[in-house]
Amino acid sequence: MLCTRGTGEILNTDDIKKVKAQLHLIELWMREKLKIIGGKHE
């Protein structure tokens, strides 16, 4: 599946995979931060 940027250029699947991987890492990092702030330790 292809996505387009605002400029209209087409992203290839490798770019999409990289972005998704980065978002996943950020999400995990944010969850860890929230756990620490909330004082919840699993």
* 42 residues of the chain, pLDDT tens digit each: 555 556 556 667 888 889 999 999 999 999 998 887 776 555
**CA distance linking residue 36 with residue 42, whole number of Å:** 10
> Positive or negative, the Cα torsion across 23, 29, 34, 37?
negative
Give the per-residue pLDDT at 34.
87
Q: What ranges do the domains of the chain cover?
A: 12-42
30 close to 22: Cβ distance less than 8 angstroms: no
Enumerate the β-bridge partners of residue 10. 4
| Element holding 39 (H helix, E strand) | none
